[in-house]
Chains A and B, each alone.
Chain A
Amino acid sequence: DQQVKQNSPSLSVQEGRISILNCDYTNSMFDYFLWYKKYPAEGPTFLISISSIKDKNEDGRFTVFLNKSAKHLSLHIVPSQPGDSAVYFCAARTGNNRKLIWGLGTSLAVNP
């Protein structure tokens, strides 16, 4: 039973438009969420995170929104660039537990 779900295996957007990647979770004890991106032949790279005490965190073109009541978070990339084409993973953890629970990832393709 997956605790972190990324229901869209893939997403395609035009360069300059907004990319929205979604993530749902089932464990209400999760209090810290992270997004990683992964290029082929490389390990995942940390992108942005959010604590459960916030509902939004922004870093440049990347913004993560958290809706605790819906147990849903989303990553917005605006404007999208071809270099953003990668697999994006959502991950979550509880308290000081170092174990991250990962989603299956969403493959984003940004077309020029």
Chain B
Amino acid sequence: ETGVTQTPRHLVMGMTNKKSLKCEQHLGHNAMYWYKQSAKKPLELMFVYNFKEQTENNSVPSRFSPECPNSSHLFLHLHTLQPEDSALYLCASSQAGIATDTQYFGPGTRLTVL
């Protein structure tokens, strides 16, 4: 595997379900991100992890719970979601500490909440 991978690619869940999204980066980066892309809205940054420590939480509801066990893996645990949480969830990674700090994205998980 190369780059940034995300599983599953598609997920349909009910409002009472608990599910998790997984992201893995094979680039040796030390920063990882969760983004949400809703229809007709710009990409919204949700969480940032730098060296496994969460450095940013953009007022994300607690029904979204991130976990970063190491610099290569990032999870987004989902519980009691709402239909308006249906969106494309993108994971990204970058090498923090360098000027350009370009973010590399995974293919995303298309989430539908019924």
Answer yes or no: A88 CB below 8 A from chain B CBs: no
Contact A43 B105 (CB under 8 A): yes
Q: Which of A13-21, A58-66, A77-85, A97-105 contacts B (4 or more CB under 8 A)?
A: A97-105
Docked CA distance A2–B106 (Å): 25
Closest chain-B Cβ to A23's Cβ sits at a distance in Å of 12
Partner of A104 from the list B41, B100, B105 (CB cut-off 8 Å) is: B41
Which A residue sits closest to B56, measured CB to CB? A99
Closest chain-B Cβ to A90's Cβ sits at a distance in Å of 10
B51-78 vs A, CB cutoff 8 Å, 1 = contact: the mask equals: 0000110100000000000000000000
Contacts A43-B4, A44-B105; is A49 near B100 (CB within 8 Å)?
Answer: yes
Q: Which residues of B contact A36 (CB under 8 A)?
A: 105
Contact B107 A41 (CB under 8 A): yes
**What is the interface residue range for chain B against chain A?**
20 to 34
Which B residue sits closest to A38, measured CB to CB? B105
Contact A45 B105 (CB under 8 A): yes
Docked CA distance A103–B96 (Å): 23
Which B residue sits closest to A97, measured CB to CB? B56
Q: Which residues of A contact B103 (CB under 8 A)?
A: 46, 100
Closest chain-A Cβ to B58's Cβ sits at a distance in Å of 8
B37-55 vs A, CB cutoff 8 Å, 1 = contact: the mask equals: 0001111010010100001
Additional A-B contacts beyond A32-B100, A43-B4 (7; CB < 8 A): A44-B90, A98-B56, A98-B101, A100-B45, A100-B103, A102-B42, A104-B40
Query: Residues of A with Cβ closer than 8 Å to B?
Result: 2, 4, 32, 34, 36, 41-46, 49, 89, 91, 98-104
